[in-house]
Structure 1
């Protein structure tokens, strides 16, 4: 069969692995946010070296990150707090977010903690549905805010309301 006659629905299976995110990975993670965001991730990698956080990457066989996210152990003494979870937009809904979260939960459990927590914007129902499908339960709400870099390089304050979710491991 010629390439022109092949189905566009063909599935390609690509193995992935989960490892710690490294400073050398940051240029390949530009899809995850602005330069300001990547600067924040870079600062979190310093905290990772100190053992305060874990920052994970789901990588292709070419060792390129396609999903990233952190676990902060300083927010709560009793839980690992998942944050800055992101999947390359073209690869969303392929199971990478689930794999990332399960790997994060394993890291939390390896530290002897029995719960994970996270916050999701109220305006992000897809992410909330994923977390709930993985067993996370809402227990509250709180406002959140951070600085965002505009396309023109300007910085503006972004404010939102988040739903707080947790899961017993």
Structure 2
């Protein structure tokens, strides 16, 4: 938890250490992952879990002792011939900036290394400086830009095309 000025623990707060485990995300986890996106997004994640069963991707969950995911994200092993592509990384908003994203990324990098690949890549939206700062702290370096687009469901339930510009980043593992 950050102090109002963004530096460290607020006065009177106490630090608590909670053990985390990283495991494969399962379809049974999806109802507990509503914080990560709309029903349309979760339907996409469910389709990616089919690809996980085929070995094309890894889809990970970071969990406290309750077993419910507080962070999720994938590694696509087919998108790039010489790299694992990290995508759909998300941390429960109330627990962001607690190191959980770093745990998720470290586990994803380990899955990439386990396949004998020595590079991880990702795309970060240019209007997400906090995520980019995390990736840079973890050793990722920008190497390009590209537009991205996908269908997104708004709070009103209407599906619209979402377009953004992303910075491409990579890290040698």
Alignment of 1:57 onto 2:61: yes
Q: Deviations over 1:120-155 (max 9, x none)?
A: 000000000000000001000000001111112111
Give a deviation string over 1:23-56, Cα, whole Å, max 9, x none.
0000000000000000000000000000000000
* Counterpart selection for 2:143 from 139, 145, 148: 139
RMSD: 0.8
Q: SS where residue 85 of structure 1 aligns?
A: strand
Query: Structure 1: which 4+ aligned runs deviate by more than 4 Å?
Result: none
* Structure 2 segments unaligned to the other structure (5+ residues): 1-10
**Equivalent residue runs for 1:6-155 within 5 Å:** 8-155=12-159
Query: For 2:57 and 2:12, how far apart are their aligned partners in 1?
Result: 42
Q: Which structure has the larger Rg over C-alpha atoms?
A: 1
What is the deviation of 1:13?
1.4
What's the CA shift for 1:66? 0.1
Give the structure-2-normalised TM-score: 0.93
Q: Does 1:165 align with 2:169?
A: yes
Aligned residues: 163
Q: Deviations over 1:89-130 (max 9, x none)?
A: 000000000000000000000000010000000000000000
